[in-house]
Amino acid sequence: MQRFWDERYLEEGVYGFEPNPFWVKTLESIQPTPDAGSLLLPCEGEGRNAVWAAKRGWTVDAFDGSSVAVATCNRWAASGGVEVNAHQADAFEFAGRPDGYDIVGLFYAHMPPARRAEFHRRAIDWLRPGGTLILEGFEPRQLGLPSGGPKDINMLFSPEMLASDFASLNIATNTTVETNLNEGPYHQGPAHIIQFIAQKPA
Ligand SMILES: C[S@@+](CC[C@H](N)C(=O)[O-])C[C@H]1O[C@@H](n2cnc3c(N)ncnc32)[C@H](O)[C@@H]1O
Domains defined along the chain, listed by start: 130-202 (3.40.50.150)
Could you tell me the CA-to-CA distances from 201 to 127, 130, 134 in Å, in that order?
A: 10, 5, 15
- Look at residue 119 and tell me whether its pLDDT is greater than 90: yes
DSSP, collapsed to helix, strand or coil, labels residue 150 as coil
Handedness of CA 74, 29, 96, 69 (dihedral sign): negative
Give residue 130 CA to ligand 1 midpoint distance, Å: 25
Residue 2 has pLDDT above 90, yes or no: no
Mean pLDDT, rounded, for 147-168: 97
Quick: pLDDT tens for 168-198: 999 999 999 999 999 999 999 999 999 999 9
d(C-alpha 45, C-alpha 6), whole Å = 10
Average pLDDT, the chain: 97
Between the alpha carbon of residue 58 and those of residues 31, 32, 43, 122, 195, the distances in Å are 9, 6, 18, 21, 22
What pLDDT is stored for residue 1 in this prediction?
79
CA of 107 from ligand 1 middle (Å) equals: 8
Site to probe by mutation for ligand 1, drawn from 17, 61, 64 as the one with most ligand atoms within 8 Å of Cβ, is 64
Q: Is the pTM of this model over 0.95?
A: yes
Q: Is the pLDDT of residue 202 over 90?
A: yes
pLDDT tens digits, one per residue of 34-89: 989 999 999 999 999 999 999 999 999 999 999 999 999 999 999 999 999 999 99
Query: Ligand 1 centre from 123 Cα, in Å?
Result: 14
CA of 65 to the centre of ligand 1 (A): 7
Residues 6 or more apart whose CB falls under 8 angstroms from that of 127 comprise 100, 101, 104, 133, 200
Nearest CA to ligand 1 atom 12: 43
